[in-house]
Structure 1
Amino acid sequence: MKNQSYEVSVTWANDLVGWAEARGLREPIKFSAPPEFGGERGLWSPELLLVLAASSCFLSTLLALAEHNRLPLVGYTAKAEGQLERVPGQGYRFTELVLRPLITLEKESDLPLAHRVLDKAERNCIVANTLSVPVRVEPHVEIVAPAPMG
């Protein structure tokens, strides 16, 4: 794959609110500083978007690897959390991101492959690899019986 470039445009709206757009996307994103820093409640913040970037990148990486390794996933959900702290001499910064994906499989025999794919997704997540903050992945896998045909 050749090098890629990703470009966004950000426009100030008012107060601590702005709009983000990218060519080819249908909807702009309205964002604000977080309420803790005087921003508007109910809007995405750069801090939430950073946590989302890591979590959604992990999902994209996992899905590509699951397909490549023929791992049939039944479901996926994830919680993600970023710890923002004031670090002496550095100001506020994220000190840790924790991703908690839950993948669902039909067959217990797929568990070893699922764990290998999860490990590889953790090692190959582009966003997590780019960040200087430690990113910890705490995966869980569950097995569900296939629905009866009928």
Structure 2
Amino acid sequence: MAHGEHKYQTTVEWTGNRGTGTSAYRDYGRDHVIRSGQKPEIPGSSDPSFLGDPVRWNPEELLLASVSACHKLWYLHLCSEAGIAVLAYVDDAEGTMIDRAGPGRFTEIVLRPQVTIRAGDDQEKAYHLHHVAHEKCYIANSVNFPILCEPTIVTA
């Protein structure tokens, strides 16, 4: 694994000008496109509560997906090192955000990974490695709200 400083680059281009720009709150679209190198574009918008397009990804969903994906990647890595064969992994993650007077913010994320491991592998260790993955997750270590993990481990 490479250590040191890693830099990332994305481009977010607003595509919601309906002809008069941001002349009024309801006069512009929240749509944008997220790009990075040669990767597929991600169609973005705001949450529908903030006049966004419900079929496009919003920043809150992307944050939740980033936390979930980072945890999963660390977990798979740790299991491979521990001799635990993960055969399937699905996380139905949920995030809670408050939007009240003052700045809105996430108050928590709950990860609910459902993991299938090879028959005969150590189920207790597979469960414990979720805690280690959480401690190592770059995204989890970068946010200021709790991230809980409620894993389910089954054997094939």
TM-score norm. by structure 1 comes to: 0.88
Correspondence for 2:85 among 53, 57, 72: 72
Partner amino acid, structure 2, of 1:36: S
Distance 1:125 1:11 in 2: 29
Query: Runs ≥4 in structure 1, deviation > 2 angstroms?
Result: 106-109
Q: Which has the higher strand share?
A: 1
Give the Å deviation of 1:19: 0.5
Structure 1: gaps (5+ residues): 145-150
Give the aligned partner of residue 136 of structure 2. Answer: 124
Instruction: Give structure 2 stretches of 5+ with no counterpart.
Output: 17-28
Q: Which moved more, 1:116-125 or 1:5-14?
A: 116-125
Q: What is the deviation of 1:87? A: 4.9
Q: Give the Cα–Cα distance (whole angstroms) in 2 for the partners of residues 87 and 136 of structure 1.
A: 23
Aligned AA (1:10): V
Q: Which amino acid aligns with 2:153?
A: V
Q: Give the conservation status (yes or no) of the 8 Å contact 1:80–1:99.
A: yes
TM-score by length of 2: 0.85
SS of aligned partner of 2:63:
helix
Once the two structures are superposed, the pairs formed by residues 139-150 of structure 1 within 5 Å of their partners are 139-144=151-156
Letter in 1 for 2:150: E
The alignment partner of 1:64 has SS state of helix
**Aligned partner of residue 122 in structure 2, secondary structure:** helix
The residue identity in structure 1 corresponding to 2:106 is F
| Distance in 2 of aligned mates of 1:48 and 1:63 | 22
Percentage of matched positions with identical amino acids: 27
Query: How many pairs were matched up?
Result: 142
Per the alignment, residue 34 of structure 1 pairs with 47
Q: Which residue of 2 aligns with 1:133?
A: 145
Q: Helix, strand or coil: the match of 2:111?
A: strand
CA contact (8 A) 1:51 1:81 kept: yes
Deviations 1:45-68 (A, max 9, x none): 001000000001111111111112
Q: How does 1:1-150 map to 2 (within 5 A)?
A: 1-14=3-16, 15-25=29-39, 27-88=40-101, 90-144=102-156
Change (3 A) 1:68 1:129: same
Distance 1:52 1:70 in 2: 27
Aligned-pair distance for 1:112? 2.3
Q: How many angstroms apart in 2 are the aligned matches of 1:87 and 1:142? A: 40
Q: Tell me if structure 1 keeps the 8 A contact 2:84–2:121.
A: no
Q: How far apart in 1 are the matches of 2:44 and 2:99? A: 22
Which amino acid letter does the alignment assign opposite residue 40 of structure 1?
D
Q: Cα offset for 1:5? A: 0.7
Question: What is the CA-CA distance between 1:31 and the residue it aligns to?
Answer: 0.3
